[in-house]
């Protein structure tokens, strides 16, 4: 094959790549226009993340995280807050325990909200911070129960009360773990996308060859 034929073949290959890139861009534009009914905030978040579509396992992870949040934080966390405020818990825990539960409840709820809007780094920071605070207050409650069980005679059905409270509070770990997993997966996907874009850029048509 002569030099002219090689240049011609290379030019055709580059034109094919350029055409494919244009088709991909057109397809992305059509997908964007088809989702024009979405709110501006959602479209902005998609643009910032660089990921328009997420695999189905993202939603599965979010549902599992939502179940852990609903059970441990929203339900039992709310019961604990109401119990302390209404002085239904005896002896009444100190004020800092109440504020720890309220603060962690708000923080984790905000983290859950952000995770469904694909702001995974912010969601991770809030969920982990809220989880640590929540477990700090939960451990105080559990330690007081264990101390009470050691120093008092209780009914047989109350002997495992500390374990029951562990089962109520500790599932919060699911929220922190999955928020971390979502962040790691998203970072990996973004890196792969950037590598793919760089590869396309490296194989883009060279002006001098095309003009020849």
Round to whole Å and give the CA distance between 173 and 143: 18
Q: Are 104 and 77 in contact (CB under 8 A)?
A: yes
Tokens of residue 97, six digits: 């325990």
Per-residue pLDDT of the chain (212 residues), as tens digits, is 566 666 667 667 777 777 777 777 777 666 656 554 444 544 554 454 445 578 899 999 999 999 999 999 999 999 999 999 998 888 889 999 999 999 999 999 999 999 999 999 999 999 999 999 999 999 999 999 889 888 888 788 888 888 999 999 999 999 999 999 999 999 998 998 888 887 777 776 655 544 44
pLDDT score recorded for residue 180: 96
For 124, counting Cβ atoms within 10 Å of its Cβ (0-12 exposed, 13-18 middle, 19+ buried), the class is buried
Structure confidence at residue 205 (pLDDT): 63
**Is the distance from CB of 95 to CB of 152 less than 8 angstroms?**
no
Residue 52's pLDDT is what? 55
pLDDT of residue 208: 52
Pick from 106, 103, 107, 124: nearest CA to 115? 124
Give the per-residue pLDDT at 38: 45
């Amino acid at each position: 094959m002569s030099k002219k034929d090689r240049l011609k073949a290379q030019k055709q290959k580059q034109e094919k790549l350029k055409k494919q890139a244009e088709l991909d861009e057109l397809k992305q534009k059509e997908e964007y226009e088809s989702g024009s009914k979405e709110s501006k905030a959602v479209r902005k978040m998609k643009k910032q993340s660089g990921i328009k579509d997420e695999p189905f396992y993202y939603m599965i992870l979010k549902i599992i995280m939502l179940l852990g949040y609903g059970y441990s934080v929203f339900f039992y966390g709310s019961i604990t807050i109401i119990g302390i405020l209404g002085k239904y818990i005896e002896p009444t825990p100190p004020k800092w325990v109440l504020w720890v539960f309220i603060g962690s409840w708000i923080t984790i709820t905000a983290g859950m909200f952000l995770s469904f809007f694909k702001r995974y780094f912010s969601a991770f920071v809030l969920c982990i911070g809220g989880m640590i605070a929540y477990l700090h207050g939960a451990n105080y409650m559990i330690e007081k129960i264990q101390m009470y069980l050691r120093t008092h005679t209780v009914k047989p059905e109350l002997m495992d009360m500390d374990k029951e409270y562990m089962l109520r509070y500790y599932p919060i770990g699911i929220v922190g773990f999955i928020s971390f997993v979502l962040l790691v997966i998203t970072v990996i996907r973004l890196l792969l996308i950037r590598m793919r874009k760089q590869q396309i850029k490296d194989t883009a048509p060279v002006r001098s060859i095309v003009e020849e």
